[in-house]
Structure formats: C-alpha cells, structure tokens
Amino acid sequence: MIYRSTRIFALTLFAILIIAPSFIVTVGSFKTTSEVYTKPLSLPENWTLDNYRYLFEVSNVARPFVNSTVVTLSSVIITLILASMCAYAISRMITVTGKILFILFTVGLAIPGQVNIVPIFILFNDFNLTNKLSGLVLINVVTTLPISIFILTAFFKELPKEMFEVSQVDGASPWRTYRSIALPLSRPALGATSIFLFVITWNELLFPLLLITDSEKRTLPLTLLSFRGEFFSNDSMIFTALMVASIPMVLMYLFMQKSFISGLTAGAVKG
C-alpha cells in the first residue's frame, strides 16, 4: 500500500516536472510575453502566430535553420562513411595495426572536446577554417569519429566471422565484402549511430561558439544564445525560437521513440 502510493506520487511528480515546462514553452510561443508571466499554465486568450512571423521575417531564423540542417546532414553522413569503413577494417585486421587504431580512437574517446578548446581554435584559425560551415562539419566529424567507431567495431566483432570469410574465399576483396555484406548487415547499428549523431550534432554549441562569428553562418544553438540578448525579457519570443530549434528532433522522437532511446543510450558516453 505504502509502496503503491509512493510509486504513484513519484511517477506523477516526475511527469509533471517534464510536462509542465514543455507545455509552458509550447503554448507560450502562441502568447504575448506578459501573458506568459502572469498565467504560464493557461491556454492563450488569443492564439497568435505573431512570434513565429517576427522570427522568420525580421530575425530571419530560416538562415540558421538551413545552416544547422546542412551542417548536421553532412557531418552525419561523412562520419558514418568514414567510421564504418574504419570500424570494419579494425574488426577484420588481425595485425597490431588494428589494435593500434582501436587504441587511438579509445584514447580519443576519453579526451573531451573541451580539453581541446585552445589548440583547435588556433589550428582552425591557421588553416582559415573559421566562419565556414565546412569547418564546422570537419570538427563535428573529427569529434564524433571515436564514439562511432567504438560502437560500430563492437557490432562488427559480434557478427559471425564465417559470413565474411566465405565471401573472401570466393575471391571478393575486403572492400566488396564490406560493401555487399558488412554494410547491409549493420543497418541497425548504423541507424542507432546516426540517430545519436543527429541529436548531438544538431545540438552542439561549443565548437560553433569557438569558430563562428559571422551571423550569416550561425547554427541554431548559437542563434538561440544570441536571441537571449536580443529578446531580453521577452520570453514568448525565446519560447518560439526554442520551438523552431527543437521541432525536427521532437517530431523524429515522436515517430521513432524506440530507435532514439536505444541510439542515444549507446552514445550516452558522449554526453
């Protein structure tokens, strides 16, 4: 009895802690700021799209939205290609090289990007890679390679060796075996990896903050941050920007909850 009532109480409390802020933000984006402050939990008296209109017409939120989309899609695709190739090679190499490669990326996994703030800032300035979307793609690929290779190597090692050996005996090159056998088999692992890559790349703040100063090249998280100065004490505008920035991920989550949960849990170590 005590257990059941504690259970219901705890579950409800946590649910409220998640639902209430989400609700306030969602309905708040259709309200005026003063209505957000006085009656955060009530539905808007007059539903208005003014905030959205202002955000797209005056603040040009479409620009960072497109930037984020381009950067995220390119980063995820390039990472998946490079990581799956490398992971397959590591899992099939019997020599020391495979081990050395694996150790390189495992050590890399242990170095958080934040430790590299100084040298990456300098290197990217020297190579003229700042204020470029391609520079962001490059740093995203580099920082997500270790975790992706880690997950995919584990997956490839679990697959029965015979599948690859048979194909090799038939005279197929490793490249063909990778393309026609390993890749199709690893679709679930690639799917899970791509989901967390999507989420962390879309949400990344640190490196855009280091490398982008040109407002035309800003990604969504950077833009949100700058809106805070621009719309100071105008929370309904902030909420609207939050909605725009989060909607792609929220929609994907609604339709693919299971893959999102398993994918993001596999990548949890990346934070």
Partner 1 sequence: MTQTSAPTIATRNIGAASRKKKRDAAIYYLMGLPAALLFSIFYFVPFIANLRYSLTRWDRITDPEFVGMKNFVNLLTNDDLFFKVLGNNLRFTFLVVLFQTVFSLFFAILLVRNTKFNILLRTLYFFPTILSSVSVGMIWLYIYDPNYGALNLFFNRVGLEAFALNWLGSETSALYAIAFTQVWFHTGQMIVIYIAGLQQIPQELYEAAEMDGATRWQQFKNVTWPMSIPTTVVVMAYTTIQSFRAFDLIFSMTQGGPNNASSIFAVMIYQTVFNELRIGYAAAQSIFFVLVLVLITLLQRKVLGSGKER
Restricting to residues 177-236, which ones interact with partner 1 according to CB under 8 A?
178, 199, 202-206, 209-210, 220-221, 224-225, 228, 233, 235
What type of residue sits at position 49?
Answer: L
Smallest separation, CB 49 to partner 1 (Å): 20
Smallest separation, CB 53 to partner 1 (Å): 20
Smallest separation, CB 73 to partner 1 (Å): 17
Q: Out of 43, 49, 115, 154, point to the residue binding partner 1 (CB under 8 A).
A: 115
**HEC sequence for 196-221:** HHHHHHHHCCHHHHHHCCCHHHCCHH
Q: Out of 69, 131, 168, 259, point to the residue binding partner 1 (CB under 8 A).
A: 168
Q: Out of 61, 133, 137, 141, point to the residue binding partner 1 (CB under 8 A).
A: 141
What type of residue sits at position 62?
Answer: A
Name the one range near partner 1 by CB under 8 A: 16-24, 42-50, 57-65, 184-192: 16-24
Residues that bind partner 1 (rule: CB under 8 A) add up to a total of: 93
154 sits near partner 1 (criterion: CB under 8 A): no
Q: How many angstroms separate the CA atoms of 26 and 29, rounded? A: 6
255 sits near partner 1 (criterion: CB under 8 A): no
Q: Is 221 exposed, middle or buried (0-12, 13-18, 19+ CB in 10 A)?
A: middle
Alpha carbon dihedral 76, 78, 82, 83, in 10-degree steps, equals 0
Q: Out of 43, 111, 163, 166, point to the residue binding partner 1 (CB under 8 A).
A: 111
Name the one range near partner 1 by CB under 8 A: 12-20, 43-51, 59-67, 184-192: 12-20
Q: How many angstroms separate the CA atoms of 245 and 271, rounded? A: 19
Smallest separation, CB 27 to partner 1 (Å): 13
Contact 264, 201 (CB under 8 A): no
CA distances for 88 relative to 42, 62, 268, angstroms: 54, 39, 22
- Nearest CA to 238 out of 20, 14, 21, 18 is that of 21
Q: Out of 145, 181, 197, 211, point to the residue binding partner 1 (CB under 8 A).
A: 145
Per-residue binder mask for partner 1 (CB under 8 A), 82-101, x = binder: xx-xx-xxx-xx-x-xx--x
174 sits near partner 1 (criterion: CB under 8 A): yes
Exposure class string for 66-76: b at 16+ Cβ within 10 A, else e:
ebbeebbebbb
Q: Out of 59, 67, 75, 246, point to the residue binding partner 1 (CB under 8 A).
A: 246
Q: State the number of CA atoms in the 13 A half-sphere of 243 facing the CB.
A: 21
Smallest separation, CB 128 to partner 1 (Å): 14
Binding to partner 1 (CB under 8 A) within 31-70 occurs at 36-37, 40
147 sits near partner 1 (criterion: CB under 8 A): no
Q: Is 128 exposed, middle or buried (0-12, 13-18, 19+ CB in 10 A)?
A: exposed
